Structure 1
Amino acid sequence: MEVIRPEKAGSREAELNRNSPLGRLLLSGASFVSMVGAACAQEQTDEIVVTGTGRASSPQEAPAEVTTISGIVVTATGRASSLQDTPVAVTAISGDVITNTGVSDLRDLGQLAPSLTINSGESGSAGTVASIRGVGTGSNNPGFEGSVGVFIDGVYRARVGQAISDLPEIARIEVLRGPQGTLFGRNTSAGAISVVTAGPYHEAGMWMDATFGFDDLGEAGASVGGNLPVVDGVLALRFDGSVRARDGYFHDIASGNDLHDRDRSSARLQALWDISPRASLRVIIDRSDADEACCGATPVEYDAVAGVQAVIDSINLANSGQPQRAPIDPDRRQMSISPGRDYQDVTQESGVSAELSWDWGFADFSSITARREFEARRNQDIDFNYIDILYRDGQETRFENFTQEFRLHGQAGNLDWLLGVFYSEETITLNDRIRQGADFSAYLNTLTLARTGGLIGFFGPGMSGLSIADLIYGPGPDYAAPLSGQGQIADRWVQDSQGVSVFSHNEISLTDNTVLTVGLRYNDEQRDARANLAAFTNTCNSTLTRAAANFPATIAFFLNPANTQLVDLVGLSCIGAVNPLTNGDYAGSRREGEWSGTLSIRHHFSGDLMVYGGVSRGYKSGGFNLDRAGFAATPIGPAPGVASFSLSQLEFNQEFTDNYEVGLRSTILNGTTFINVTGFHQQLSDYQQNSFNGINFDVANVPEVVSQGVEFEISSRPIDNLDLRFGVTYLDAYYDTTVNFSAPTPDPSGANTVVAGQALQLQPPWRVSAGVSYEHVIADNLRALFYLDARWDSEVASQTPGRPASGSTDMAAITILNGRIAVGAPSGGWQFEFWGRNLADESSFAGFSAPLQPGTYLANVTEPRTFGVTLRVRH
């Protein structure tokens, strides 16, 4: 639930907002965000205002002795309206709840919104995935946009990972569930997260927060800010800055170093210019930086059949004189990293945006113009173990985005209409360098002997000339032994995208109690991609030379399931990520135009009961898989029927979501309690799946996926100063089609095949969230706050496809508890807090197949218990 408290009665800002044309302007359409900073900065009263679809509506009257919550308003639909009058499934979260929960970035929001899941896998900047109702798109590949859109102050973030910096002061966050195509500038196929930050206001103010952790991670951080009225009632400036540092919670047993640390800083400068009583302009300039070690993984299962772990141990003994094997115990969060390798993840994000709100009399006009840049550089020990098999050496990713949105919102009789135009430009530049490590040759050769009857554990320089090609074709000329550092010399990708869309979202009052909503959108998008790929590996070149001399027989050999063992070995020596077979210059383009929209009807049986039903179509554009491993190739040549390689083989189709939804919104107990229920059925066509197969990422459109379930939410204030919330989501999300992600290569084990009826990964069937907040006045100048929230997830498979038969990557049910106790001045001038996160010290994880190590599985594990204190001062 998102709660916004209005200004103190009688203040200058309150009078401005109630009586002036500017005040009326700020209470309509997208311009509402300019009011929020002023509203949140004033002293708070017990009255609550709520924000959701974007039409202004008055709180319901209630007996004076009862504290109600019926004034909650949501604005994500472009208008300000009561939450209970919104025919959209939305979870609204106030800035106070964000603070009390300890939410530092968007990944923590799953604690508060039960239908939302945000996970980071191999990288915080590149591997963060947001899912709503089980639907999300892996962001490990920069060519993929997210199924869930993130908007901060109305500005679209092109990837979820670009929004995982420390959050500034938050006015509210709204999580919209289901396709969103007629409410935001950018369309989304699964849902949207709308973040509204605190803005400038026309009074002087300063604030400071300092945080210290008492656990092993030793967190320390501070944020400072100030608000300056430059011209009284006309121009105000606001500054927010923060720094945060913390030790890591993942331990490398080989070096003794820790990973998953925090080292972040951010700064925001804002200006609010009330140009006239009818127009205002809000400008934001921001930058955030991070330099962290992310993301490690711990073993959850070692190979017990093919002897892979025995091979690794034998090389460990040769290199270091002792095994460097991390224990199978996810709670200990341990791993073993190759000497000289690291997981450095450095990001820099910056941008400028300008939001103009202008009352034209017959309609409210708004314009949001933004330019953003995001850069990430990261290293990675790709094999996630002590021996040096593969590593990533300074991958560089850069996004440059320009967006322009125009909206016009007005009323004419029984029609409340909204028209919008959205234009976007995006340039993605990716330079990747995946290379063989110092132990690649020894590992491959030792594993070959183990798989073909040789002695496991035998290791020596004399093996360096062995080629797997000899096992298939007999002895022949080989290239020199593989050397450390071979692989991608530099794979460079550039993708340019342009898109324009028009959209409309309209509400027609059929009667006083019945409203029809009609929305329509048209998208036109153009993508142009270029690639310059250069790689060299002696190991694979030897195989490719002789495979080309006998190509038909070679293809027959590799497509024969009886030869799985040798095919796997060749796959290891000619992995798609560094295979010279696909070297070259490439260019391609695609264009698509699609319609989407929504149709719903809601009926008020009374002032306290509303039901609605509707259907909507969501759409997410197609694109290019920016990964050479996606070409239509076997390890030793083009796939059958493929004459040559082209970027068309890396294309994936657009994704569609048909959503059917019914909902009930009720207010009971004299306005003190909301009970909301939503049922949904989503049919996804050409679902964009990005899965890790242990070597590279497989991209495919799954023809049919289903996501259906029920969402139940309660928000209540039974007595003064006590707030309760409770939410339950039942989710049944599954593949409705069988797909082999290894195609055209057979998959006799089924490891890389999803079967119709199989559940989507990391989507628990049941999720429950709850929270309680109580304030108590201890004395005239002292107030206490007690806060506790909890989230319970049922057991779930964290990996599919590739899930091991043992179920080692499955997660048991888990409960996460956060708490906070605070004392401070009733006026909010100061507050001292003692907090704890993950109080029960539970851990959840996302599993995946260990690269180049068949039968071994790893997992990214969440943070352990942390606790500390925070001091807040406001003036």
Structure 2
Amino acid sequence: MNRYVKTALLAGAAWSALSTTALAQDAETTAAAAPQDATNIGEIVVTARRRAEALQDVPVAVTAFTAEALENKGAIDITELARSTPSLTLNSARGSNSTLISFIRGVGQQDPLWGFDPGVGLYIDDVYVARPQAAVLDIFDIERIEVLRGPQGTLYGRNTIGGAIKYVTRRIGDDPEISLRGAYGSYNQFDAVGSISGPVSDTVGISASVARYLRDGFGENLTTGTEHYNKDVTAARASIEWTPADALFFRLAADYVQDSSNARHGHREFAPILDDEYDTRAGAGDKNDVETRGISLTGEYTVNDMLTLKSITAYRDGSTRGNIDFDNLPTPTLDIPAQYDDDQFSQEFQALFEGDRWSGVAGVYYLDATASGAFDTVVGAFNLTTLTSGSVDTKSWSAFGDFSYDVTDQLSVSVGGRFTHDEKTGTVFRQQYLGIRSPFFGNAAAIPLGAPRTNYTDTREFEEFTPRVSVTYEISPDLTTYASWGRGFKSGGFDMRGDAVLYPDTVNGYDPETVETIELGLKGRLFDRFSFATAVFDSSYEDQQITTQYPAGATVASVVDNVGSSSIRGWEFEGSLRASDNLVINGMLSYIDAQFDEFLAYIPTGPLNTTCPLLVGCFVDVSDSRNFQNTPEWTGSISATYTHWLEDGSTLAFTPSAAYRGDYQQFETPAPLLDQEAYWMYDASAVWTSASDRWTVGFHGKNLSDERYKTGGYSFPGAATGNSIIAFYGAPRTFTFRVGVKF
């Protein structure tokens, strides 16, 4: 009970001040136009609860970005959402150009290895994307992007214990349209996007988009002479929409992404250190190729005014081939060549209900997915390679429902739940070889060193019921408050790196983790000039899955275990103020207090082990010396858009912005050479739009102070591994000039 009381008290002061102001707003109204931005919650319609609702009416912490708002900011890919979304961290994975790492409110998964599930769900047009490879989606041909914070275990289910990101593409309009967009910028950046859409008959419409992104590297591989941190991406989408009758609608959609950018090897943070953070001396090779494809069929049948039936059938697959040079040296001191493959089939059926005082959605979901891969751990000092390979097959089904009832014109209650059953079959193989690289990666002369260290196949089943309850109260037509309680669930699995010699229990896998969150929120508009959303939350994180990697003799070992529990509390605010007819000010601020209550770290065997018996490892509670990764205590941003109307009817909008991120760690264990200190990021955009809205010309500056900030890293100290402490950095200062035209 104390937990609920504390959360209520935390919200009290802000709620009373804002609600008192709102009750007086009827006496002072204005005819000013509503600001068009992400926080203009009264104007944006979202599908956060799988049905179309005004953002103000949704009892969920949601940030929604329209295509226009993102274009005006010059946003390139979805990682830029973290600059203006509370409690959100989005980065490219360590050593990757297009693999997505996401955390919301301290919950996520940094390890994109096959078999490890993300903690934040990514959806493309309501299709769950099971793997993070090629998930750093470039922003083109979209309608909006929604970021749902907190566990979404009822309606989204799989691996959304931190939240969900919904990438919503544009639907085909009633009129034909052709749009072209080109950009040129720093480091010889060249972007080209072309789209065509429109009806081909009274019942059929088609659309197609192709995007090409090229950029020279921010740095150089001084060993091979190739570019480092470059970009070479091709993306495409196409859809066909068919409306054979007023009550029937079908959409067949396909997407494709190929990332041929060079491998990213990072920057040594321990001697020898290069002056430029984007340079490397890696000798492992620059080959990198990532490819993903997806196709989906959505069907909707409006039975009557009260019932709509919906089906979503989808298939996706992908492959990754690449290298990461952990030592950043020309010699193979610690090199990791790797390949991943994955595929997934999903089927979802929904029934959407709508009555005079009630609405809801119910359905069933099925997923059949396989993720597989292999990598070498090459330790040149010992002429030793450890091959790790395997796969995880997942079969998951669930049944869910969420219903809302308007008790009065002001009071609404929602109740939902989801039952999930997962079956996972894991195969793990780990073998050491004498030689540089294993036969799997081209060295046929490598000699097996003893029996496999890990060689097993096992199956485990996991079940969980995740309920959610919320109460919404409309204080006034422009102000809504809500309280919610819900649970999220991420199933257990098998450690693909597990070494059964060092840690015999790895063959048993690890258990599921859960997050339980209570949240109090307030959304609305004040004086027709200020729209806002604020929330406080309190989360209990149980059986947390943590990956720990450490040097073990002549190789690198891994342990994945349910380390214990933690408490996460915080406050979020985002708002938009129309200060004048020309000026709109937007901002957000979030605070997170994330603490481990218990952290059972595995202490391996070895001569330096003074805590446990020398022949048997053990678990020790080290919660006092561990902190959450990728979770700054404070994040915030502020921007101002000044729009000037020219005599010919065209507009010129200027938007400077500043974003702040507090200190954060790359891992739960502090790593002074890798952990990132607090920093500010400054951007500015100027966009001209013709009176007909046909032409747009933009100039965008990013990271104007040229801040060098770390987005990830690896830490393998020790002579055998070449003191491989490497960091990966975000983009430096860049300028981009864009031109767009519509026909």
Same fold (TM over 0.5): yes
Q: What's the counterpart of residue 15 of structure 2?
A: none
* Partner SS state of residue 188, structure 1: coil
Where do 1:671-690 residues align within 5 Å? 671-690=528-547
Is 1:874 the counterpart of 2:742? The answer is: yes
Report how far residue 251 of structure 1 moved: 3.0
Paired with 1:132 and 1:124, the residues of 2 have a C-alpha distance of: 20
Of residues 466, 476, 479 in structure 2, which corresponds to 1:606? 476
Residue in structure 2 matching 1:246, options 207, 215, 229: 215
Instruction: Determine whether 1:259 maps to 2:124.
Output: no
Question: How far off its partner does 1:159 sit?
Answer: 2.3
Which one of the candidate residues 667, 689, 693 is aligned to 1:824? 689
SS of residue in 2 equivalent to 1:163: coil
Determine if the alignment matches structure 1 residue 622 to structure 2 residue 488: no
Matches of 2:297 and 2:557, distance apart in 1? 40
Query: Which letter maps to 1:117?
Result: T
**Aligned counterpart in structure 2 of residue 738 of structure 1, from 599, 603, 607:** 599
Residue equivalent to 1:197: 169
1:781 Cα deviation (Å)? 4.8
Structure 2 residue 35 is matched with structure 1 residue 138:
no
616-625 or 376-385, which deviates more: 376-385
- Work out the CA distance in 2 between the residues paired with 1:579 and 1:782: 72
Q: CA deviation at 1:709?
A: 0.7
CA deviation after TM superposition for structure 1 residue 436, in Å: 4.2
Picking from 390, 399, 419, the partner of 1:493 is: 390
Distance 1:391 1:811, change over 3 A: closer
After TM superposition, the structure 1 stretch with the greater mean CA deviation from structure 2, 852-861 or 116-125, is: 852-861
Matches within 5 A, 1:459-498: 482=383, 487-488=385-386, 491-498=388-395
Select which of 188, 204, 211 maps to 1:218. 188
Quote how far apart the aligned CAs of 1:685 are: 0.6
SS at match of 2:72: helix
Does residue 778 of structure 1 match 2:639? no
Query: Per the alignment, in what secondary structure is the counterpart of residue 96 of structure 1?
Result: helix
8 Å CA contact 1:250, 1:296 repeated in 2: no
The equivalent of 1:546 in structure 2 is none
**Secondary structure, counterpart of 1:160 in structure 2:** coil
Counterpart of 2:675 (choices 790, 803, 810) is: 810
Does the alignment pair 1:714 with 2:575? yes
Question: Which protein is bigger by CA-based radius of gyration?
Answer: 1
Match of 1:30 in 2: none
Structure 1 position 85 matched with structure 2 position 60: no
Aligned amino acid, residue 373 of structure 1 = D
Q: Is the 8 A contact 2:388 2:496 kept in 1?
A: no
Q: CA deviation at 1:591?
A: 0.6
| Aligned residue in 2 for 1:76 | 48
User: Whose helix fraction is larger, Structure 1's or Structure 2's?
Assistant: 1
User: Any conservation in 1 of the 2:389–2:496 contact (CA below 8 Å)?
Assistant: no
Q: CA RMSD in A?
A: 2.7
User: CA 1:493–1:632 in 2, change beyond 3 Å: closer, same or farther?
Assistant: closer
Whichever residue aligns with residue 668 of structure 1, its letter is L
Q: Report the Cα distance in structure 2 between the residues aligned to 1:263 and 1:236, rounded to whole angstroms.
A: 31
Match of 2:439 in 1: none
> Aligned equivalents of 2:220 and 2:27: distance in 1?
57
- 1:289 paired with 2:258, answer yes
Contact 1:170 1:198 in 2 (8 A): yes
1:734–1:756 contact (8 Å) kept in structure 2: no
> Is 1:524 paired with 2:524?
no
Determine if contact 2:707/2:732 at 8 Å carries over to the other structure. yes
C-alpha distance after superposition, 1:123-146 (max 9, x if no partner): 326863200011111233211111
Equivalent position amino acid for 2:279 in 1:
Q
Moved more, 593-602 or 97-106: 97-106
CA offset digits 1:626-670 (Å, max 9, x no partner) = 11xx23433xxxx5xx5xx8732xx1110100101111223201x
Q: 1:511 to 1:781 in 2, by over 3 A?
A: closer
Cα distance, 1:184–1:738 mapped onto 2, change above 3 Å:
closer
Q: What is the SS of the residue equivalent to 1:840?
A: coil
Q: Does 1:656 align with 2:514?
A: yes
The code of the aligned residue for 1:271 comes to I
Q: Structure 2 vs 1, CA of residues 538 and 142 (structure 1 numbering), >3 Å: closer, same or farther?
A: closer
Q: Is the 8 A contact 2:489 2:513 kept in 1?
A: yes
Task: Return the TM-score normalized by structure 2.
Answer: 0.87
SS of the counterpart of 2:151? Answer: coil
Q: Which residue of 2 aligns with 1:859?
A: 727
CA distance in 2, matches of 1:800, 1:492: 26
CA deviation string 1:486-505 (max 9, x = no partner) = 524x6431221111100111
- Which of 139, 163, 188 pairs up with 1:167? 139
CA shift for structure 1 position 343: 4.0
The residue type paired with residue 182 of structure 2 is A
Change (3 A) 1:757 1:538: closer
Structure 1 871/714 Cα, relative in aligned 2: closer, same or farther at 3 Å?
A: same
- The CA deviation at 1:798 is 3.1
1:205–1:169 CA distance, 2 compared to 1 (3 A): same
Q: CA deviation at 1:301?
A: 3.7
Amino acid at match of 1:659: T
Q: Specify the SS of the correspondent of 1:110.
A: helix
Q: Distance in 2 between matches of 1:190 and 1:794?
A: 20
1:326 to 269, 273, 277: 273
Take 2:64 and 2:620, find their aligned partners in 1: how far apart are those partners? 39
Whole-Å separation in 2 of the counterparts to 1:728 and 1:826:
35
Shift in Å at residue 283 of structure 1? 1.2
Distance 2:673 2:118 in 1: 28
> CA 1:506 to 1:619, structure 2 compared with 1: closer, same or farther past 3 Å?
same
Q: CA deviation at 1:381?
A: 1.9
Aligned CA distance change for structure 1 residues 632 and 533 (closer, same or farther; 3 Å): closer
The question of whether the paired residues in 2 share the 8 Å contact of 1:735 and 1:754 is answered with no
Q: What is the percentage of aligned positions where both structures have the same residue?
A: 26
Give the count of matched residue pairs.
687
Q: Residue 127 and residue 152 in structure 1: after superposition, are their counterparts in 2 closer, same or farther (change >3 A)?
A: closer
Partner of 1:229: 199
Cα distance 1:207–1:620, how it changes in 2: closer, same or farther (>3 A)? Answer: same
Contact 1:698 1:742 in 2 (8 A): no
Q: Specify the alignment match of 1:397 in structure 2.
A: 340
Separation in 2, partners of 1:612, 1:163: 32
Tell me if the contact between 2:519 and 2:536 (Cα under 8 Å) persists in the aligned partners: yes
Offset at residue 413 of structure 1 (A):
5.0
1:292-321 Cα shifts (integer Å, max 9, x gaps): 12322223344xxxxxxxxxxxxxxxxxxx
1: distance between equivalents of 2:729 and 2:212? 25
In structure 2, stretches of 5+ residues that fail to align are 1-25, 35-39, 437-447, 613-618
Deviation at 1:238, TM superposition (A): 0.5
For 2:634, the equivalent position in structure 1 comes to 766
What CA distance in whole angstroms lies between the structure 2 residues aligned with 1:856 and 1:534? Answer: 22
For the 8 Å contact 2:351–2:361, the answer to whether it is kept is yes
Aligned equivalents of 1:579 and 1:740: distance in 2? 29
Larger relative contact order (Cα-Cα within 8 Å, sequence gap ≥ 6): 2
Give unpaired runs (5+ residues) of structure 1: 1-59, 303-324, 442-481, 540-577
Q: Distance in 2 between matches of 1:247 and 1:796?
A: 29
CA contact (8 A) 2:332 2:378 kept: no
Conserved 8 A contact 1:699-1:741: no
Question: Which amino acid in 2 is paired with 1:66?
Answer: A
Equivalent pair of 1:783/1:825 in contact (CA under 8 Å): yes
The 1-side partners of 2:392 and 2:235 are apart by 28
Alpha-carbon separation, structure 2, partners of 1:418 and 1:585:
44
